[in-house]
Chains A and B, each alone.
Chain A
Amino acid sequence: MEIENTKSNIFLCNQETDMTFDEIREKAVAEWEPMEQDGVPVIRIGTATSDRASGALQVVEEFEKELARLNVTAKIIRTGSVGFCNHEPLVIISKPEYPRICYNNVTPDMVPRLVEGFLLEDDPCMEFALGTLEGGDGTPPHIPELPRSEYELRLLLRNCGFIDPENIHHYIALGGYRALARSLEMTPDGIVEEIKRSGLRGRGGAGFPTGQKLASCLKARGTPKYVVCNADEGDPGAFMDRVVLESDPQAVLEGMIIFAHALSSHQGYIYTRMEYPLAVERLKTAIQQAKNLGLLGDNILGTGFSFDIEVFQGAGAFICGESSALMYSIEGKRGFPRVRPPQSIEAGLWQKPTQLNNVKTFASIPVIIDKGSEYFAGIGTDTSKGTAVFALAGKVENVGLVEVPMGTTLDTVINEIGGGVKDGKRFKGVQTGGPSGGCLPEQFLDTPIDFDSLKEAGAMMGSGGMIVMDEDNCMVDAARFFLDFTVKESCGKCVMCRLGTKQMLSILEDIVEGKGKPEDMEQLVTLGEDIKAGSLCGLGKSAPNPILTTLRYFKEEYEAHILEKRCPALVCRNLIAYYIVPEKCYRGCEHCVVVCPSEAITQHSKRFKVIDQTKCIKCGNCLEVCPQEYNAVVKISPISEVPDQVEK
């Protein structure tokens, strides 16, 4: 992905390490405050990875061109992502006397109108607007015109899409590093107590009480102690951590430095997926900028405490998201999880006490220390405090990041915030927790989202991926997909995981290919329970979950595949056939013939098109290109239901 540094002169300010925190903050505020108060409009354009994939950089270029051409003065800030993926590229324009206005799906040809209309003249071009932006400035931002703003609380995402992630002054001006300054005057025990009182539980998936982990690591004997951030967000469909790292990396650094101070640790690592190159780049920039201001590195804020952070890139192994495997990877070894005890807080990286936490957990620490544990504990439920961030994806209108107080129901997230299932289709299920999680059907939509309720339903919150499925998704195929992923990513150490999951996959493949047997369902359950019992780490222990939950809640789909050789969702290739309905075929076009890769479509004497089932490879091209007004191509299951060939 294109990596582009914005113009920031922070790199040149090496002489500032003698400044006190108040002086640093004053300077930051002096740069930030005039920005929207000096009469010059500010244009914020999201430039995280998904924004760029939607064409954000071309939009930036077009704004620069138009501003120059029309001789308009305005500041452009390349921000991170707000996380409203279906609205990207997102542009927020602040002009004096006007509220901040968000424009969605901005393309380069919209830019001249925006510049001329709104910046040069006084027409805010509301036909392009999504709504107005309130908050930001250190308080949770929201767009009041959108129904979702009633339910969301953007605490961890408070700066995302609002600040330049490559300018530390923005982060500091909005309250950043105030928590660090405060914690440097607290005792280690004081910091531990504050985190314990907040009720924060790890956001990496396991939900272990963070304060308790910190207390244990503090008590552990042995030096040096390490602080490690797990940024190996490997769950397919999860991108919360990516957005935080690309949009507000300083929040993560600040959390790590605070913990390092509590533990008297001098070295930290951030283990980042190499599939996130922009996140790696922004982290490195953030580290350098923090060092330049004496907030990281030697003699932090003149206290004599030193702590350094190194970014370590992963190499494409999902299992390295498991904490012990991650640490072995940093040591230069294969990422095999190990037996516990000893716990990593006693003997982790290089057998030394190691405090490992997730990106979102570290990003929560500055909020807790700055605003107080009571504030944080006041959000959420009795046992799950604070907010939960989800990457909502799949068959839902508003794909993107959602942040809600713990205890919000799945229904609220999917329907009120997510905008419901798209294209008017019927909701079938929601998958939470990635390949370790479960698929829950409609009757669970009222389940509150917290660590414990979802577990009771047989799913888990996991790190935050949430995939919505509709009537066109096959749950057996979904289970097979997740298991295929886990089989590929298994490290191979435990027999039950290595061979058991392969065997489960083999059975599932038989089922989707129409070779399933009635006893397969029971076999899958038995195998699944055995794999859970016989596996050392979370990957093996949770690999059967997607299969066990789909068997529990979508049994009728398995039965249809096995007993009737039918795929109700019309997905499984061996159980479906493509068929052109003669009465609907226009007869005058050749769209389907042209795109068929196996030349399976010919013309009948009555001029409608016919698919030769012996040649059809079920690629779906014909269905895609058949013009909407005819919709002549249909999928049929079971294959025995395909009407007989009309006589030529």
Chain B
Amino acid sequence: MASPSKHEEEQITEGMREILSQHEKDKSCLIPILQVVQQTFGYLPRIATQKVASHLGMTDVQVYGVASFYNHFRFIPLGKYPVQMCMGTACHMVGGGLVLEALERTLDIKVGGITEDREFSLDRVACIGCCGLAPVMVVGEKIYPKMSPAKVDEVFVNMKMEAKRD
């Protein structure tokens, strides 16, 4: 996974200055701070976590130790269209696993990965609580209910067409 470009690094540094100015130097703020960092950049860039560590008087590895414990925090970027497949019980029981495989095939990446052009990333997500619409896929903030392997192609063809229009 390529490291951020110089321009991206500058953006991250600037962003972190803003974020840290709004948080106290209190270790119990670690998780909320990391959540804001992830919300801002889509992931936890290395230089960002280093800055969080020095802000809170912790070591780099201590911050990494906490961040890596939690599934939500990612260390590689999200795609422009972040695809998440619900892996809850209800979704699994009605074939969610087959949809996930279809997604891997269509996007040509494995779970946890991101396409070369950074357009699509693919992750599992723990149950989002819409079990009546299983199997459920989420792309960004949009929920796609009652997915099936055959529907996957159709959804992504439409998405790519919309992306071209934008």
Q: Are A467 and B66 in contact, with the CB atoms below 8 A?
A: no
| B83 touches A (CB below 8 Å) | no
Q: What B residues does A274 contact at CB under 8 A?
A: 35, 72
Q: Are A394 and B93 in contact, with the CB atoms below 8 A?
A: yes
Given contacts A236-B88, A332-B27, A332-B31, contact A49 B93 (CB under 8 A): no
Interface string of A519-531 (1 = CB under 8 A from B): 0000000000000
| B112 touches A (CB below 8 Å) | no
- B118 CB to closest chain A CB, in angstroms? 22
- B102 CB to closest chain A CB, in angstroms? 7
Q: What A residues does B71 contact at CB under 8 A?
A: 315-317
- B81 CB to closest chain A CB, in angstroms? 15
Q: Are B143 and A86 in contact, with the CB atoms below 8 A?
A: no
Interface string of B17-59 (1 = CB under 8 A from A): 0000000000111111011000000000000000000000000
Q: Are A334 and B69 in contact, with the CB atoms below 8 A?
A: yes
Q: Are A399 and B129 in contact, with the CB atoms below 8 A?
A: no
Q: What A residues does B90 contact at CB under 8 A?
A: 236-237, 393-394, 399, 467
Q: What B residues does A318 contact at CB under 8 A?
A: 126
| B159 touches A (CB below 8 Å) | no
Q: What A residues does B88 contact at CB under 8 A?
A: 236-237
Interchain CA distance A334-B133 in the complex, whole Å: 33
Q: Which of A234, A334, A473, A624 contacts B148 (CB 8 A)?
A: A624
| A632 touches B (CB below 8 Å) | no
Q: Are B150 and A88 in contact, with the CB atoms below 8 A?
A: no
Q: Which of A239, A329, A431, A620 contacts B95 (CB 8 A)?
A: A620
Interchain CA distance A478-B136 in the complex, whole Å: 18
| A283 touches B (CB below 8 Å) | no
Q: Are B131 and A52 in contact, with the CB atoms below 8 A?
A: no
| Contact count band on A | 35 or more
Q: Which of A54, A334, A467, A597 contacts B93 (CB 8 A)?
A: A467
Q: What B residues does A275 contact at CB under 8 A?
A: 125-129
- B111 CB to closest chain A CB, in angstroms? 12
| B89 touches A (CB below 8 Å) | yes
Q: Which of A313, A334, A431, A624 contacts B89 (CB 8 A)?
A: A431
Interchain CA distance A276-B35 in the complex, whole Å: 14
Nearest B residue to A595 via CB reads B150
Q: Which of A1, A276, A332 contacts B29 (CB 8 A)?
A: A332
Most buried by A among B27, B88, B102: B88
CB-contacts of A376-435 with B (<8 A): 391, 393-395, 399-400, 431, 434
Q: Are A620 and B149 in contact, with the CB atoms below 8 A?
A: yes
Q: What A residues does B91 contact at CB under 8 A?
A: 236
Q: What B residues does A314 contact at CB under 8 A?
A: 70, 72
- A528 CB to closest chain B CB, in angstroms? 20
Q: Which of A238, A333, A395 contacts B66 (CB 8 A)?
A: A333
Interchain CA distance A469-B94 in the complex, whole Å: 10
- A58 CB to closest chain B CB, in angstroms? 12
Q: Are B141 and A1 in contact, with the CB atoms below 8 A?
A: yes
Interchain CA distance A314-B70 in the complex, whole Å: 9
Given contacts A315-B70, A332-B28, A620-B95, contact A85 B133 (CB under 8 A): yes
Count of chain B residues with a beta carbon within 8 Å of a chain A beta carbon: 45
Q: Which of B65, B66, B102, B132 contacts A50 (CB 8 A)?
A: B132
| A2 touches B (CB below 8 Å) | yes
Interchain CA distance A237-B149 in the complex, whole Å: 21
- A451 CB to closest chain B CB, in angstroms? 21
| B98 touches A (CB below 8 Å) | yes
| A330 touches B (CB below 8 Å) | yes
Nearest A residue to B58 via CB reads A332
| A625 touches B (CB below 8 Å) | yes
Interchain CA distance A69-B149 in the complex, whole Å: 41
Q: Are B127 and A236 in contact, with the CB atoms below 8 A?
A: yes
Nearest B residue to A86 via CB reads B132
| B163 touches A (CB below 8 Å) | no
Given contacts A394-B90, A481-B89, A621-B149, contact A315 B72 (CB under 8 A): yes
Q: What B residues does A242 contact at CB under 8 A?
A: 129
Q: Are A53 and B130 in contact, with the CB atoms below 8 A?
A: yes
| A568 touches B (CB below 8 Å) | no
Q: Which of B28, B31, B34, B131 contacts A391 (CB 8 A)?
A: B131
| A80 touches B (CB below 8 Å) | no
| A31 touches B (CB below 8 Å) | no
| A599 touches B (CB below 8 Å) | no
Interface string of B93-104 (1 = CB under 8 A from A): 111001001100
Interface string of B67-80 (1 = CB under 8 A from A): 00111110000000
Nearest A residue to B129 via CB reads A239
- A590 CB to closest chain B CB, in angstroms? 14
Q: What A residues does B92 contact at CB under 8 A?
A: 236, 481
| A465 touches B (CB below 8 Å) | yes
| B87 touches A (CB below 8 Å) | yes
| B145 touches A (CB below 8 Å) | yes
Given contacts A54-B145, A85-B132, contact A317 B93 (CB under 8 A): no
Q: What A residues does B136 contact at CB under 8 A?
A: 53
- A96 CB to closest chain B CB, in angstroms? 33
Q: What B residues does A334 contact at CB under 8 A?
A: 65-66, 69
Nearest B residue to A330 via CB reads B28
| A619 touches B (CB below 8 Å) | yes
Interchain CA distance A579-B70 in the complex, whole Å: 43
| A322 touches B (CB below 8 Å) | no
| B85 touches A (CB below 8 Å) | no
| A248 touches B (CB below 8 Å) | no
| B114 touches A (CB below 8 Å) | no
Q: Are B105 and A597 in contact, with the CB atoms below 8 A?
A: yes
Q: Are B129 and A478 in contact, with the CB atoms below 8 A?
A: no
Q: What B residues does A370 contact at CB under 8 A?
A: none
Q: Which of A313, A335, A393, A595 contacts B69 (CB 8 A)?
A: A335
User: CB within 8 Å of B: which residues of A?
Assistant: 1-2, 49-50, 52-54, 85-86, 88, 233-239, 242, 274-276, 312-318, 329-335, 391, 393-395, 399-400, 431, 434, 465, 467, 469, 473, 478, 481-482, 485, 491, 595, 597, 619-621, 624-625
A and B contact pairs by CB, cutoff 8 A, 27 listed: A2-B141, A49-B129, A50-B132, A50-B133, A53-B133, A88-B132, A236-B92, A237-B90, A237-B127, A238-B129, A274-B72, A275-B128, A276-B128, A276-B129, A314-B70, A315-B70, A317-B69, A332-B30, A333-B66, A391-B131, A394-B90, A467-B93, A481-B89, A619-B98, A619-B102, A619-B149, A620-B95
Q: Which 3 A-B pairs have the closest CB atoms?
A: A85-B132, A316-B72, A239-B129
Given A394-B131, A620-B95, 18 extra CB contacts under 8 A: A53-B143, A54-B145, A88-B132, A236-B89, A236-B126, A237-B88, A237-B127, A239-B131, A315-B73, A316-B72, A318-B126, A335-B69, A399-B132, A469-B93, A481-B92, A491-B69, A597-B105, A619-B102
